[in-house]
Structure 1
C-alpha cells in the first residue's frame, strides 16, 4: 500500500533513483594517482623497476634526473613526497592536502615531458588531468585558502 500511496502522492517519486557511474570518478582518479605516486616514489628509493639500458647521459631529461640526484637532497625530497602523497591518496586521508603537496611535482613532470622527453607526455597529461579533476572535486576544501583577505585567527 505504501508504494501505491507514494506513487499517487504529488511530489513523491516512487521509482528508484538511478545511480550514475560518475560518482565513482573521484575515487578512480584518486586511486590512479595514489598508485602512480606510491609505486614510482618507492621506486626512487628501492629501484625495483629496471631502468632502460639505452639512456644517454647527454639526453636532457636524463641529465635533469642526474642533476636532481647530484644535489644530494632534491631527488629524495621529490620521491619522498611522491611516496607519502601516494599513500595518503590510497588511504583516502588528507586528500586536499596531498593534492596541494603534489601539484608542483605534477607541473614539473608535465613540463619535463613536454619539453625534454615527449615520449612520456601521455602519462603526464593523465596525471595533470586527474589532479585538476580532483582539485575541482575537493574545491570546497580550498575555498578558505583562496580567500583574498583573511584575518589571522579567524
Structure 2
C-alpha cells in the first residue's frame, strides 16, 4: 500500500508534459509516443478493397479462374456483343487491372479513379438494368467505394470542375511568340 501511495506522489510531482499524472488528478493523459496505432484509416481500407476487387475481377477476365454466374438472357446478349467486338472485353478488363494495381500500390489514385469511373457506372447499370437480383448490392458497394474515394481525393479533382481550368486569368507569353 505504501508503494502505491509513493507512486502516486511521484507521478503527481512529475513535471507537466511528461504524460504522467496521479490517477484522478486531471493531469495529462498518459501517452506512448513510441508506438503507432495499428488501426488503418478508412480511406486506406476502401482503396485496398476497391483495388483488390478491380484487380482480381480484371485478371479473371483474362484468366477465367472464377466461373461466370448464370445471367438473364438480355445480360448474356450484352456480354456476347462485347466479346464479339474483339477489343471491348480486353480493354475493360485491362483498365480494371491497371486501375486496381494503381490503387493497391497507392500511386496515381485520382487517375485510377477517373480511369475506372466509366467501368463502375457500367457495373451499376448492368446489375440494375440487365441482371437485377443477387449481385445488385455488389454494384452499389463498388459505386459507394468509388464515390467515397473520389470525395477523399476531391482536391485533385477540383481543377477538373473549374470552368476556366487551373490557369490564371492572364497567360504568360510563350517564348519566341510576339503579340500583335
Band of TM-score, shorter chain? 0.7 to 0.9
Q: What does 1:105-144 align with in structure 2 at a 5 Å threshold?
A: 105-118=119-132, 119-144=134-159
Cα distance in 2 for partners of 1:37, 1:139 equals: 21
Shift of 1:142: 0.8
The equivalent of 1:10 in structure 2 is none
Please identify the structure whose Cα radius of gyration is greater: 2
Gaps of 5+ in 2: 1-13, 21-26, 173-180
After superposing on structure 2, the runs of 4+ consecutive aligned residues of structure 1 that deviate more than 2 Å are 1-7, 13-17, 150-154
The equivalent of 1:149 in structure 2 is 164
Shift of 1:146: 1.4
TM, length-normalised to structure 1:
0.82
Alignment of 1:103 with 2:120, yes or no, is no
Deviation by residue 1:69-98 (Cα, 9 ceiling, x = unmatched)? 101111110000000001111111100100
Cα distance in 2 for partners of 1:133, 1:2 equals: 44
Shift of 1:5: 8.0
Alignment of 1:66 with 2:80, yes or no, is yes
Alignment of 1:3 with 2:16, yes or no, is yes
Q: Report the secondary structure of 1:3's partner residue.
A: coil
Structure number with higher relative contact order (C-alpha < 8 Å, ≥ 6 residues apart): 1
Q: Report the secondary structure of 2:104's partner residue.
A: helix
Contact 2:110 2:150 in 1 (8 A): yes
CA distance 1:145–1:63, shift in 2 (3 Å): same
The equivalent of 2:53 in structure 1 is 36
Q: What does 1:70-81 align with in structure 2 at a 5 Å threshold?
A: 70-81=84-95
Gaps of 5+ in 1: 8-12
Cα distance in 1 for partners of 2:116, 2:19 equals: 49
- RMSD over aligned Cα atoms: 2.7
Structure number having the greater helix percentage: 1
CA distance 1:67–1:4, shift in 2 (3 Å): closer
